C-alpha cells in the first residue's frame, strides 16, 4: 500500500503549500494521537529545529494531540537524533521532530520516532494516514491532553553524547571550529566539545528563524574551510540544520565527507576489536570506500539512497555502522539513528588514540572521481528508450571494467534522471558522464 503523505523520511515541503500547513499539522497531531492512544500510551515528545515556522507547527501539533487526549511534552529546539534518544529514554509513546533537515528556512516537515528511538514502522504510518483522512473529533474535556515543557532535555542529550566515547578521553589541546548551521545543535554541540576539553571556535550558532543552513553547515562547508585555515585549527566540524549530518574539514582545509568518515570509524572499530557485520552504504557510496574497506577485510553492502534504507539493511545483516556520503552516519553500537555529534566524537576518539591527524586518517582510502549529471525529463521511459540507454551504459561499463561504476536512477522528488559515472581518471569519468547524459536525452527525446 503506497503511503499518501509520508515519504522515505517523514513529510516535507514548502511552508504554506499542502501539506505543510497549520491545518494539516493540527489534523496530523490528532491522527497521531488517535493511533498512539489506541496503542496504550499517553504522551508524545515534540522537538523542532530553529526555522521560524516551527512555532506555528509546534502549536498545531500540540492542539491536535490535546484534542485526541494525548499529553505533549515540548522539547523546544533540539537535534533530530536527540529527540530519538529522549523518546527512548523517557519512554514516550513517540517522538515528533518538526524539521526540514538541510533545506532552507521556507521549507519544513515532520519526522516520527517510535518508543525504541527508530523511525516508525510502515504500518503505523499507514494508520496515521487513515486518521488524517477521517473526520476530526475531540475527546471529552475531562480527558483532554495536557502540555508541558521539558527543561533538562538539552543537558540529558549532552551527557548522552559525551558517554558515546570512553571517559578516559580528554580533547585538551585540540582546536576545533564547529559550524552549527544556525540550526538545532547551536546550544548543544559547543557544550559537548567544551566539556570534553577542546578549544572551540563556533560559527553558525546565531539562529534567527530565517538563516538555518544559509551558506553554512554540512551542505555548504566553505565558511568552515575558511575558518579552519584562518584560525590554524586542527580540524572543523559541520552539522546540518537538524544535526543528523556531519561533514568535517582537516587542517589543510580539505573537506572530509561521509564516506571517508565512515571508513575512519570502521577502521577504528576494527583496530579495537569492536567491528561487527558489514558496513552499509548506498548506491552513491564511493568506490574508493568499497576498496578501502575490502583491504581491511570489511564487506560493503549498498542500500537504496536514504538513511531509512541504510538502517533497514544494517538491521537485516546485523551491521553496526552505515551511512551516506552526504554525512548521514549511523553508529548502531552507540545510538539508534544518524547523529552528527556522535559520529564526530567517534572520529575524534580515533584521532586522540592514534595520534594521527584527520588528513592522515582519511588517506587510508582513496576516493574515486565521481561525476553526476542530471537530465530533465517530462516523459515516461519507454521500453525502447530504456533498451537504448542500457546499451550505452553497457559500453561504458565494459570500458571501465572493475575500475569504475555507472549508475542511472530516477529522482524520487524531481523530474530528473541522474547519471553517475565513477572511475580512476577524472577526465575520462567526465567524458563518459556527458556522453551517457546525451544518450539519455536522445533516447527520451529531451
394-440 pLDDT tens trace: 999 999 998 899 998 877 656 788 899 999 999 999 999 999 998 88
Ranges of the chain with pLDDT below 50: none
Full set of structural domains in the chain with CATH: 11-150 (3.40.120.10), 172-255 (3.40.120.10), 257-367 (3.40.120.10), 370-444 (3.30.310.50)
User: 101 catalytic, yes or no?
Assistant: yes
Please name which of 409, 310, 213 lies closest in space to residue 8, comparing C-alpha atoms: 310
Provide the pLDDT for residue 389.
Answer: 87
Cell 592514534 appears where?
A: 354
Collapse the DSSP code of 121 into the 3-class scheme (helix H, G, I; strand E, B; otherwise coil) and give the result: coil
Report how far Cα 61 is from the mean position of its chain's Cα atoms.
23
Please name which of 42, 58, 35 lies closest in space to residue 121, comparing C-alpha atoms: 35
Contact assessment for residue 107 and residue 15, using Cβ atoms and an 8 Å cutoff: yes
- Determine which one of 93, 101, 114, 268 is catalytic: 101
Written as nine digits, the cell of 207 is 539562529
Provide the pLDDT for residue 409.
Answer: 82
Q: What CA–CA distance (Å, rounded) separates 249 from 233?
A: 10
Q: How far is CA 317 from CA 296, 300, 395, in A?
A: 19, 11, 33
Q: What CA–CA distance (Å, rounded) separates 445 from 288?
A: 34
Provide the pLDDT for residue 41.
Answer: 58
CA terminus-to-terminus distance, the chain: 32
Amino acid at each position: 500500500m503506497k503511503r499518501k503523505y509520508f515519504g522515505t523520511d517523514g513529510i516535507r515541503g514548502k511552508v504554506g503549500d499542502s501539506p505543510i500547513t497549520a491545518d494539516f499539522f493540527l489534523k496530523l497531531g490528532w491522527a497521531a494521537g488517535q493511533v498512539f492512544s489506541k496503542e496504550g500510551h499517553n504522551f508524545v515528545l515534540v522537538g523542532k529545529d530553529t526555522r521560524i515556522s516551527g512555532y506555528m507547527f509546534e502549536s498545531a501539533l500540540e492542539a491536535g494531540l490535546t484534542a485526541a487526549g494525548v499529553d505533549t511534552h515540548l522539547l523546544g529546539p533540539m537535534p533530530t537524533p536527540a529527540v530519538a534518544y529522549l523518546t527512548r529514554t523517557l519512554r514516550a509513546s513517540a517522538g515528533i521532530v518538526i524539521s526540514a533537515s538541510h533545506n532552507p528556512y521556507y521549507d519544513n516537515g515532520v519526522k516520527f520516532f517510535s518508543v525504541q528511538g527508530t523511525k516508525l514502522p510502515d504500518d503505523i504510518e499507514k494508520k496515521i494516514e487513515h486518521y488524517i483522512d477521517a473526520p476530526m473529533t475531540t475527546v471529552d474535556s475531562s480527558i483532554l491532553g495536557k502540555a508541558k515543557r521539558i527543561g533538562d532535555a538539552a543537558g540529558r542529550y549532552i551527557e548522552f553524547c559525551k558517554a558515546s566515547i570512553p571517559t578516559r578521553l580528554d580533547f585538551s589541546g585540540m582546536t576545533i571550529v564547529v559550524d552549527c548551521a544556525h540550526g538545532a545543535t547551536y546550544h548543544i554541540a559547543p557544550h559537548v566539545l567544551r566539556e570534553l576539553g577542546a578549544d572551540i571556535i563556533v560559527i553558525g550558532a546565531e539562529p534567527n528563524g530565517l538563516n538555518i543552513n544559509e551558506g553554512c553547515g554540512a551542505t555548504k562547508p566553505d565558511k568552515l574551510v575558511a575558518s579552519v585555515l584562518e584560525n590554524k585549527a586542527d580540524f572543523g566540524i559541520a552539522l546540518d540544520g537538524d544535526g543528523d549530518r556531519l561533514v568535517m574539514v582537516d587542517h589543510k582545509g580539505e573537506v572530509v565527507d561521509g564516506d571517508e568518515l565512515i571508513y575512519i570509524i570502521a577502521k577504528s572499530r576494527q583496530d579495537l576489536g569492536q567491528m561487527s557485520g558489514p558496513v552499509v552504504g548506498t548506491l552513491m557510496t564511493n568506490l574508493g570506500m568499497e576498496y578501502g574497506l575490502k583491504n581491511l577485510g570489511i564487506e560493503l553492502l549498498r542500500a537504496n539512497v536514504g538513511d531509512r534504507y541504510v538502517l533497514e539493511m544494517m538491521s537485516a545483516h546485523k551491521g553496526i555502522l552505515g551511512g551516506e556520503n552526504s554525512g548521514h552516519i549511523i553508529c548502531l553500537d552507540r545510538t539508534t539513528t544518524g547523529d552528527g555529534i556522535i559520529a564526530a566524537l567517534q572520529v575524534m576518539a580515533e584521532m586522540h588514540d592514534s595520534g594521527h591527524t584527520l588528513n592522515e586518517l582519511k588517506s587510508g582510502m582513496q576516493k574515486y572521481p565521481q561525476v553526476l549529471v542530471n537530465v530533465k525529463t517530462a516523459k515516461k521511459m519507454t521500453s525502447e528508450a530504456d533498451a537504448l540507454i542500457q546499451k550505452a551504459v553497457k559500453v561504458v561499463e565494459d570500458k571501465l571494467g572493475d575500475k569504475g561504476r555507472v549508475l542511472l536512477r530516477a529522482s524520487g522528488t524531481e523530474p530528473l534522471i541522474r547519471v553517475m559515472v565513477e572511475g580512476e581518471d577524472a577526465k575520462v569519468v567526465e567524458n563518459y558522464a556527458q556522453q551517457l547524459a546525451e544518450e539519455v536525452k536522445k533516447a527520451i527525446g529531451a
